[in-house]
């Protein structure tokens, strides 16, 4: 993970955290697993294999030949896990082992909406009342489980600050309904909560924003998830697989990643999607205008 400091910090609102004020651009990188052998390394491996064939039990040699690449693969995967930055899972070997277990049950298709529940309240989504436009360009590359982050097409810090300001303004206008605080799910980052949620997730958490890539997570009605997926504005979380025979998903089936807004047009669509998240959480329609120019 590389850090690039801007020469002049961007403008900020008085309620922003110190990290936002500094203006840090975080480049999230995932390294592919590869083994490169130069002449010296190739010679050393050849000698070790020949020596092992003559002085080691065949079974032991076979186990070593299999285990060494596996250990290198796990080490590379663990480093990629750490490079995703802070999230809901502790950046420790124990946290990595927990995610490795969950990988056995993750969604294989994150672009198919979950089934509707006829008894669910609210009974329908709201985005189809005024369908979303298609998101311009290809989808960003996404990696990780917890954390789950975009690897490219990161939103600007300016857009992040405007979106955060819009959510803070909503909380200030209606403090009896909404409040902002640190995310319960991510354990880091800014989040909007409902004081009286109908569909409860993370103590009423409606959505949270990621400082590193400026993407976000939220729960949506299956109808709205379908609209978001079809128009290219996000994707389902791999851990939103629901109830299984062996393992239950750690997040609801409605848990969805929304890509980082890149410009003014994206900002307006993102605000509409957050309005849909509020609708799903509280069954109340709320308008969120994008934050004023900062």
- The answer to whether position 87 is within a domain reads no
Same domain, 163 and 268: yes
The count of domains in the chain is 2
- As a three-state string, the secondary structure of the chain is CEEEECCCCCCCCCCCCHHHHHCEEEECCCCCCCCCCCHHHHHHHHHHHHHHHHHCCHHHHHHHHHHHHHHHHHHHHHHHHHHCCCCCCCCCHHHHHHHHHHCCCCCCCCCCCCCCCCCCCCCCCCHHHCCCCCCCCCCCCEECCCCCEECCCCCCHHHHHHHHHHHHHHHHHCCCCEEEEECCCCCCCEEEEECCCCCCCCCCEEEEECCCCCCEEEECCHHHHHHHHHHCCEEECCCCCCCCCCCCCCCCCCEEEECCCCCHHHHHHHHHHHHHHHHHHHCCCCCCCCCCCC
pLDDT string in tens for the chain (294-residue length): 333 333 343 443 444 444 444 344 455 666 665 666 567 777 877 888 888 888 888 888 888 888 878 888 888 888 888 888 877 788 899 999 998 898 899 999 999 999 998 888 999 999 999 999 999 999 999 998 888 999 999 888 888 999 999 999 999 999 999 999 999 888 888 999 999 999 988 889 999 999 889 999 999 999 999 999 999 999 999 999 988 778 888 899 999 999 999 999 999 999 999 999 999 999 999 999 876 543
Same domain, 161 and 52: no
Same domain, 55 and 105: no
Task: Find the domain containing 120 and state its range.
Answer: 2-29+100-282
Q: What pLDDT is recorded for position 74?
A: 87
């Amino acid at each position: 993970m590389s850090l690039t400091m801007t020469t002049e910090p961007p403008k900020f609102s008085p309620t922003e955290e110190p990290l936002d004020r500094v203006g840090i651009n975080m480049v999230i990188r995932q390294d592919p697993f590869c083994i490169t052998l130069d002449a010296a390394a190739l010679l050393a491996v050849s000698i070790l294999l020949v020596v092992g064939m003559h002085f080691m039990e065949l079974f032991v040699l076979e186990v070593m030949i299999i285990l060494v690449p596996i250990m290198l693969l796990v080490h590379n995967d663990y480093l990629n896990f750490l490079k995703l930055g802070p999230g809901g899972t502790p950046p420790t070997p124990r946290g990595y082992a927990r995610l490795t277990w969950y990988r056995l049950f993750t969604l294989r298709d994150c672009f198919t909406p979950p089934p509707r529940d006829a008894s669910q309240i609210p009974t329908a989504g709201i985005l189809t009342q005024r369908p979303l436009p298609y998101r311009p360009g290809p989808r960003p590359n996404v990696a990780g489980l917890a954390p789950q982050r975009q690897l490219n097409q990161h939103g600007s810090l300016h857009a992040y600050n405007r979106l955060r300001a819009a959510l803070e303004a909503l909380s200030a206008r209606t403090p009896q309904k909404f409040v902002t605080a640190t995310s319960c799910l991510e354990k880091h980052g800014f989040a909007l909560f409902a004081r009286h949620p109908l569909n409860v997730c993370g103590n009423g958490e409606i959505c949270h924003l990621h400082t590193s890539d400026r993407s976000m997570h939220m729960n949506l009605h299956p109808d709205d998830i379908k609209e978001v997926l079809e128009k290219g504005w996000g994707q389902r979380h791999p851990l939103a697989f629901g109830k299984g025979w062996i393992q239950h998903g750690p997040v609801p089936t409605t848990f969805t990643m929304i890509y980082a807004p890149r410009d003014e047009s994206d900002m307006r669509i993102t605000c509409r999607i957050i309005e849909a998240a509020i609708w799903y959480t509280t069954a109340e329609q709320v308008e969120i205008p994008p934050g004023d120019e900062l």
